[in-house]
Amino acid sequence: MTTERDNTGFWTVAIGAPVLLSVLRLWIEAGGELQTTLLLVEHVDPINLVAALVATGSWLVSAMFVAALAIGGMLGASGETAARAWLARWAEQAPSWVKLGSFVIAAFTWQLIYLPLLLLALCAAYQLTPRRVWVALVCLALYGVVIGQTLVEAFRLPDPSTRAMAVLLLAGPAVLAVFIAGPLRPRAVRPFAIGAPLLGVAMLLWAALPLVTTPVLPLTVTVIGGPEDSVEYVRGHVITTDDVHMVVLEESGQVRYIDNDLIEAQDLCPTSQEIPRYRLRFLFPGVEPVSLEHSVLSGLGQANRGSTPGSPACRSRTR
Amino acid sequence: MSATRSRLTTLSAFLSVALIAASAACVPTGPTVDEYRAKSPTLAKADRERVLRIGVQDQLPLMSEHDQATDKWTGFEVQIATLLAHQLGFTRPESYQFIRLTTEKRISALQSGEVHLVVADFTVTDERRKLVRFAGPYFLTTPEIMIRRTDQDKIKTIDQLKQVKVCTTGGSTSAEVLTKYGVPHSLLAKGAECAEGVRNGTYDAHCTDDVAIAGRVHRFPEFAKVDMPFSDTEPLGVGLPLDDPYLEGLVAHYLKKQLDLGDRSQWQAAYDANLQVVLGPKQQPPLFPGYPVLRDHDDDQRR
């Protein structure tokens, strides 16, 4: 009975959180203005809203499942008392397709930089451990070959946070993955059962914050003709276009109706949230270097179509 | 064995938790191009006025010239200035303007706000750094002498130079070099006036940097260059208002991006199209140290 209630609660969060995020994003996009919100609701297709959320937030949902499975797997292997914790029970009873699906979606949608953490979570969730020391050493050596060149490159870059990240996120999880499977010490079960989910929730909330503030509509710069041969650059999100006007929600929050005849050019722009945090790229002989902040999916997309430099017009701020 | 294993597992579990928490903390916090663009008071002014005004010289062959008939600007410095205007967000031809400046007016035009930046054969010196900011260098020059081709046998040394009428521009580093070597000289507002003076016999020699001389010698065969043993190398920089460290950081950032692109850069294309014919193959010089490293959208694509 308790298990069923826990399961219901978990699924309520898993389904409800994305819906809540969608609503929050729309509200934030409108800057809390009633009329702007109504304008957005009128023109933003719910399907597009959900599609945008899936494109930007599926990694977060899979992270929630992976974290729950990893913590549950650790508690499940740590004796009867620990196995009664709700996360352990959920992890035990979750259908295989949920478990496998979470890891597969995570593998494709997480940034490359976090994939070593996924490996660690996989070992914790499924209690995978090498049975012989030499197997562990061979696994680590192979892993070292895969990330070696990238690690060396990290230490060549001047930024100390890149070096710290390389050690913490690229090298650290692989070493810990060798030892993660197995029972926790009885005294450690309770602190782990409380601390790990709390940290998980805090991290997920921290990660969800930028997701909520990510605009629903694409950012553009529209160049329009002004008086005396001048031009004006209008930065904002295009809400809709008809035969007469283009309606733009400016970054300042103002909604502007621009006469189509005045439009001279328009460029798609990245937002400041999209600035890469690290200059490090994954390097491996024979493989095209790819940014560690790409996921496998976006990396494949870029390999297929290539990346385009942003238009310099996106720098403009004229009023 | 199992107790040891359990200890290792417990240690790994808590280390994993600590590692995940620590990874959230190690995020680079350096300034971004967008932040500097938004904070620059000069660019805010240009945004309000809807035009970026760039100070250039107008009679400097191969560097910056204005064709009255077509109303077109050409030359190496014009291309560098256009590149910077584009990168700063002024991408349409109507959104940036070239303003003619004499050598003497380069500093005062920046100080008064008449222009937002200066790309006008502007040598970086410590004295000038007290009055304006510089981003660069985007080119290295040396002071040289231009004479009439017919006088090539008469003026070969600094001692011979001291015996003839020498002209240079007021407020230029060439004037400082002539003073340093004890060469008497007259000061005019523009290099083109000195060149005309040499042509009509008012002066015998014009002292300016080698790139300006190379352009004039290439364009006007009646002139010749004399290699004087002036040892000073002069870095040319983009002049910027003293109160705008953000614009300085941005311009340095865009020059560094060009440097990183090497042979594929627009700097190289501008050099090859304008100056290579007179100065031979050259590469963009490295920047002065100390400019901030700005984070940008293409950071993960650049090497």
Choose the closest CB to A176 out of B15, B89, B300.
B15
The label of the residue with tokens 């609660």 reads A9
SS3 A234: strand
A66 touches chain B (CB under 8 A): no
Residue B110 burial by Cβ neighbours in a 10 Å radius (0-12, 13-18, 19+): buried
- Residue A27 pLDDT: 78
User: Which neighbouring-strand residues pair with A267?
Assistant: A221
Q: What pLDDT shows up at residue A161?
A: 79
Q: Are residues A118 and A8 in the same domain?
A: yes
Identify which of B10, B43, B298 has the shortest CB distance to residue A188. Answer: B10
B18 has a chain A CB within 8 A of its CB: no
Residue B7 distance to chain A (closest CA, Å)? 6
Q: Which residue of B has its CA nearest to A176?
A: B12
Give the amino acid at A18.
P
Interchain contact, A184 vs B10, CB within 8 Å: yes
Q: How far is A137 from chain B, CA to nearest CA, in Å?
A: 16
Q: Provide the residue range defining the domain that includes A69.
A: 2-129+180-213
The ranges of chain A with pLDDT < 50 are 1-2
Token match 């003293």: residue? Answer: B242
A 119-158 residues with CB < 8 A to B: 120, 124, 158
Amino acid A2: pLDDT: 47
Query: Is B221 within 8 Å of chain A by CB?
Result: no
Residue A204, pLDDT score:
85
Q: A317, B50: Cβ pair inside 8 Å? A: no
User: Do A71 and A57 fall within a single domain?
Assistant: yes
- Diameter over CA atoms, chain A: 80
Asked if B299 and A232 come within 8 Å (Cβ–Cβ), the reply is no
Q: Distance between alpha carbon B1 and the CA centroid of its chain, in Å?
A: 70
Same domain, A117 and A248: no
Residue A8 inside a domain? The answer is yes
The answer to whether A251 faces chain B, any CB pair under 8 Å, is no
**CB distance B297–A206 less than 8 Å?**
no
Contacts of A279 in chain B (CB under 8 A): 299-300, 302
What pLDDT does residue B104 have? 84
Count other C-beta atoms under 10 Å from residue A261's C-beta: 8
Whether residue A207 contacts residue A58, with contact meaning beta carbons closer than 8 Å, is answered with: no
Q: Give contacts of A278 with chain B, Cβ < 8 Å.
A: 28, 300
In chain B, list all ranges with CATH 3.40.190.10: 33-141+234-279, 144-226
On whether both A246 and A275 belong to a single domain, the answer is yes
| Yes or no, beta carbons of B293 and A158 under 8 Å apart | yes
Residue numbers in chain B where pLDDT is lower than 70: 1, 26-28, 231, 300-303
Cβ pair A176:B12 closer than 8 A: yes
Nearest CA among B36, B55, B65, B56 for reference residue B116: B55
pLDDT of A1 reads 44
Count contacts between A and B (CB, < 8 Å). Answer: 155
Interchain pair B299, A279: CB under 8 A: yes
Any residues with CB less than 8 A from the CB of A196 and at least 6 apart, and which? A71, A74, B13, B17
Q: What is the pLDDT of residue B301?
A: 65
Give the residue among A295, A270, A112, A307 at the shortest CA–CA distance from B301.
A307
State the Cα–Cα distance between residues A176 and B285, nearest whole angstrom: 47
| A245 and A116 together in one domain | no
Do A123 and A233 reside in the same domain of the chain? no
Together in a domain, A42 and A115: yes
- Residues A203, B20: C-beta atoms closer than 8 Å: yes
Please give the pLDDT value at position A18: 65
Distance between B248 CA and the closest CA of chain A, angstroms: 16
Contact B162, B183 (CB under 8 A): yes
B144-226 is a CATH 3.40.190.10 domain: yes
Cβ <8 Å between A275 and B296: yes
Burial of A240 (0-12, 13-18, 19+ CB in 10 A): middle
B121: closest CA of chain A, how far (Å): 25
Residue A138 lies in a domain: no
Is residue A175 one of the residues assigned to a domain? no
Question: Looking at chain B from residue 84 to 113, which residues have their Cβ under 8 Å from any Cβ of chain A?
Answer: 86-92, 94-95
**Binary contact (B13, A229; C-beta < 8 A):** no
- Please check whether residues A188 and A267 belong to one and the same domain: no
Quick one: A195 and A111 in the same domain? yes
Is A121 within a domain? yes
Would residue A173 count as lying in a domain? no
Architecture in CATH for domain B33-141+234-279:
3-Layer(aba) Sandwich (3.40)
CA distance A290 to A253: 36
Contact A223 B92 (CB under 8 A): yes
- Chain B within 8 Å of A20 (Cβ-Cβ)? no
Give a yes or no: residue A146 inside a domain: no
Q: Which amino acid is located at A40 in the chain?
A: L
Residues from chain A contacting residue B90 (CB–CB below 8 Å): 316
Q: List the single residue in B with minimal CA-CA distance to A191.
A: B14
Cβ <8 Å between A278 and B300 = yes
Handedness of CA A204, A206, A209, A211 (dihedral sign): negative
ipTM exceeding cut-off 0.85 for this assembly: no
A22 and A76 share one domain: yes
Asked if residue A123 and residue A18 are part of one domain, the reply reads: yes
- The CA distance from B100 to B85, in Å, is 16
Residues of chain A with Cβ-Cβ distance to B21 below 8 Å are 199, 203
Please tell me which residue of chain A has the smallest CA distance to B296: A275
Q: Nearest CA to CA, how far is B80 from chain A (Å)?
A: 15
CA–CA separation, B210 and B145 (whole Å): 8
Let me know whether A200 and A319 are in one domain.
no
**B1 in contact with A at a CB cutoff of 8 Å?**
no
A180–B13 CB contact, under 8 Å: yes
A231 phi/psi in degrees, rounded to 5: -125, 155
Q: Rounded to an integer, what distance in angstroms lies between the CA atom of residue A265 and that of residue A312?
A: 13
Overall number of domains in chain A: 2
Contact B13 A223 (CB under 8 A): no
Q: Judge: B297–A270 Cβ closer than 8 Å, yes or no.
A: yes
Which amino acid, residue A80? E
Distance from CA of B291 to the nearest CA of A (A): 14
Q: Are B65 and B278 in contact (CB under 8 A)?
A: no
